[in-house]
């Protein structure tokens, strides 16, 4: 039997969005959205894997390194784990807008890769995001979708 997953965008869903034109480039800039905790706990209790899928163009722009991004994600995992809201995997697209990759949302590449890696049934999974690109990626992958409006 395949797994079902709750796919979550990071910025605006798990953490507060940086000021326009800025990026969350360090753990000091990361601000956990407390509203994400019950959502993750509920999904895990219902038997869903929790998978973060996030566009992180700041790496391609030179605003941060891959090591910086990895550190932010380690810090995010630590904060969530302390709240018993673990995530199973994180997929990041670090490409620029014009790089032509298949992973940058609104494309479904990160979700499709996670489905392959984690044996996920996308038709039984949900994509939650706060931008139309998140919703488009979820639709393209064949997931149910939920747009968060702040």
Active-site position among 9, 99, 121, 134: 9
Extract the tokens encoding 42.
């509920």
Query: Coil, strand, or helix at residue 77?
Result: helix
- Rounded Cα distance, 75 and 72, in Å: 5
What is the sign, positive or negative, of the torsion defined by CA atoms of 9, 49, 39, 74?
A: negative
Describe the chain by its helix, strand, coil percentages, rounded to 5. 35, 20, 45
Sign of CA dihedral 80, 34, 70, 133: positive
Catalytic residue status for 9: yes
Q: Which residues are catalytic?
A: 9, 11
């Amino acid at each position: 039997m395949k797994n079902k997953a709750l796919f979550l965008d990071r910025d605006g869903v798990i953490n507060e969005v940086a000021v326009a034109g800025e990026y969350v480039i360090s753990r000091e800039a990361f601000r956990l959205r407390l509203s994400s905790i019950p959502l993750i706990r509920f999904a895990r209790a219902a038997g869903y894997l929790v998978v973060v899928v996030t566009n992180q163009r700041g790496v391609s722009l030179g605003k941060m390194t891959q090591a910086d991004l990895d550190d932010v994600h380690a810090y995010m995992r630590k904060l969530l784990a302390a709240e018993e809201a673990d995530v199973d995997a994180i997929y990041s697209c670090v490409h620029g807008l014009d790089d032509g990759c298949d992973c940058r949302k609104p494309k479904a590449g990160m979700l499709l890769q996670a489905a392959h890696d984690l044996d996920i049934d996308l038709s039984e999974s949900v994509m939650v995001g706060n931008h139309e690109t998140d919703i488009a990626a979820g639709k393209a992958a064949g997931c149910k979708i939920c747009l968060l409006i702040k």
